[in-house]
Amino acid sequence: MPNFSRRTFLAGAASLALASRRSFAARSDLEPIYAEIKKRHQEAIERIQRWIHQPTIAAENVGGEEGVKLAMDLFGEAGFTNVTRIPTDGKPGIFAVYDAGAPRTVGLYFMYDVKQADASEWKLGDPWKASIVQKPGMGKCIIGRGAVNQKGPEAAFLAALHAIRGAGKKPPVNFVLVAEGEEEIGSPHFPQVVRAPQVMQALGKCMGIFMPSAGQAIDGTTDVTLGAKGVIEAQIISSGEKWGRGPSKDVHSSLRAMLDSPAFHLVQALGTLVTPDGVDPAIDGWFERVKPLSAAEKKMVADVVAHGNEQQMKDQFGVKHWERDVPFEQAMERLCGWPTVNIEGLVGGYTGQGGKTVLPHQAVAKMDFRLVPDMTVDDCLHKLRAHLDKRGFNDVEVVMTGGYDPNTTAPDAALIRAQEQTYRRAGQNPLLWPRGGGSWPGYVFTDAPLKLAAGHFGLGHGSGAHAPDEYFLVESENPKLFGLDDMVKSFVDYLHDLAAIRS
């Protein structure tokens, strides 16, 4: 789920002056394309459904081969050429180009995998059936795993290319497309795709890269996010066997009188990772590379805070206080500018109903560490290891399961200025947000040697990524929300803004 930004938290809380979607100010020169979009509405819906029908789940090793083939077919049908499978040590990536003979080239980042789905939890239908369901106060939605994350928005972008070609036109920019099939497991092999020489060379010509996304919150607001925190997901494991002190299997808990406890060993190791009040990272050297928010970034936060509803956010999370009772603005600055150490889950010993008198041989903390510029995954992993070693926790294992470096894109990048322009033309009043709290592998584009501007773009709405009943709105009855055709239009417009914006 790459596009996790401020809006996700402010959903329902914004009090921005909202323009109706009906105010979408179409350009007259693009009218033939808009007409084609309308004509191809059903075709565009069916494309989304066709894609959802193919489950491709890296975490479960499901549908990989079918998934990569279908994605390559979809790209070819939309006009991409040189559609190439890029082998990796995991699922293959895809590389494709679209030469429109335009002066500028734009990068596209797609994923063809989806999160797992447990059909028994879905009230609105089979996750792979892609049924059309009427949602009250919203309109007709496609229900299915991947509907909003990310097949719906990606297929909407492909629909824009079909419409352009259907109207007898060429896209106003060229494209370089890179796709992966492991986004939902943390993109472990995506660098191998991007670092392939022909991919690297092609991306080097791009003015920036974006991922199609349904950018409207349920209240219709949209924002422009200038990067993402990095993340390390890791398991911290304390085991008696490794330690040589606790038991090597679960034993009767009376033996606690003579045997050490790997679970308490874990508790003590975890306790050293945060400040005594449990709030900030306390890992040796953790803040060495932390770059404070700039004055410009603080200004963006202040703008968002001025438009936000603090009490509504607190109610949404069920809290009475922000950490350390800091004021709202400072809490929001922490959200985009401060590293975190989080326990995602604790698992050890007996986890069933009631109790069981065992001394467990092992305990595990599932952790995530969010990173901000200029922290890096490698440096932080090294610091975490050194921190634990120094305190006598040499035996406590740190097993990284996924990680991204943070990424940042400048607000004055042409890619970003074009976004703002297109959003404003569509009646939106997008606020800038310095950095999403969630993470996506944008660093492979923003870091050297490519140093591309990177982001997400797309009007339209959907929700339920990673949850049951994921949906993507295709025919809107809500004046604040864009349906599929208007979303496709937003892509057409954006491409033209990208072609025209001063560099």
**Measured from the CB atom, is 87 or 244 closer to a second copy?**
244
| Smallest distance from a second copy to CB 383, Å | 18
Q: How many CA atoms lie within 13 A of 70 on its CB side?
A: 21
| Smallest distance from a second copy to CB 451, Å | 25
CA-closest candidate to residue 221, choices 486, 14, 488, 438: 14
**Measured from the CB atom, is 102 or 267 closer to a second copy?**
267
| Smallest distance from a second copy to CB 233, Å | 4
CB 2 within 8 A of CB 456: yes
**Measured from the CB atom, is 97 or 301 closer to a second copy?**
301
CA-closest candidate to residue 450, choices 5, 105, 86: 105
Q: Is 503 exposed, middle or buried (0-12, 13-18, 19+ CB in 10 A)?
A: exposed
Print burial letters for 45-79: b (CB count within 10 Å at least 16), e (below 16).
bebbbebbebbbbbeeeebbeebbebbbebbeebb
**Measured from the CB atom, is 180 or 280 closer to a second copy?**
280
| Smallest distance from a second copy to CB 347, Å | 5
| Smallest distance from a second copy to CB 247, Å | 5
CB 11 within 8 A of CB 219: yes
Cα 123 to Cα 469: distance, rounded to the nearest angstrom: 7
**Measured from the CB atom, is 64 or 427 closer to a second copy?**
64
| Smallest distance from a second copy to CB 96, Å | 30
CB 182 within 8 A of CB 189: yes
CB 69 within 8 A of CB 155: no
- What 374-379 contacts at long range (C-beta under 8 Å, 24+ apart), as own/partner pairs, is 374/289, 374/290, 374/291, 374/406, 375/230, 375/289, 375/290, 375/339, 375/405, 375/406, 376/230, 376/289, 376/405, 377/230, 377/232, 377/403, 377/404, 377/405, 379/289
Q: List all residues 6 or more positions away from 271 whose beta carbon is below 8 Å from its beta carbon.
A: none
**Measured from the CB atom, is 211 or 501 closer to a second copy?**
211
Our measurement of the distance from residue 408's CA atom to the centroid of its chain's CA atoms, rounded to an integer in Å, reads 14
| Smallest distance from a second copy to CB 37, Å | 34
**Measured from the CB atom, is 336 or 452 closer to a second copy?**
336
Strand spans (E) along 99-253: 105-111, 132-135, 139-143, 174-180, 209-212, 223-225, 227-228, 230-239, 251-252
| Smallest distance from a second copy to CB 227, Å | 13
**Measured from the CB atom, is 397 or 475 closer to a second copy?**
397
Our measurement of the distance from residue 496's CA atom to the centroid of its chain's CA atoms, rounded to an integer in Å, reads 25
**Measured from the CB atom, is 60 or 77 closer to a second copy?**
60
| Smallest distance from a second copy to CB 348, Å | 4
| Smallest distance from a second copy to CB 229, Å | 7
**Measured from the CB atom, is 147 or 363 closer to a second copy?**
363
Q: 3-state secondary structure string, 239-306?
A: EHHHHCCCCCCCEEHHHHHCCCCHHHHHHHHHHCCECCCCCCECCCCCCCCCCCCCHHHHHHHHHHHH
**Measured from the CB atom, is 88 or 340 closer to a second copy?**
340
| Smallest distance from a second copy to CB 357, Å | 6
Task: Give the helix ranges, DSSP H, for 184-255.
Answer: 190-194, 197-203, 240-243
**Measured from the CB atom, is 201 or 394 closer to a second copy?**
394
CB 247 within 8 A of CB 240: yes
| Smallest distance from a second copy to CB 26, Å | 36
Cα 89 to Cα 334: distance, rounded to the nearest angstrom: 36
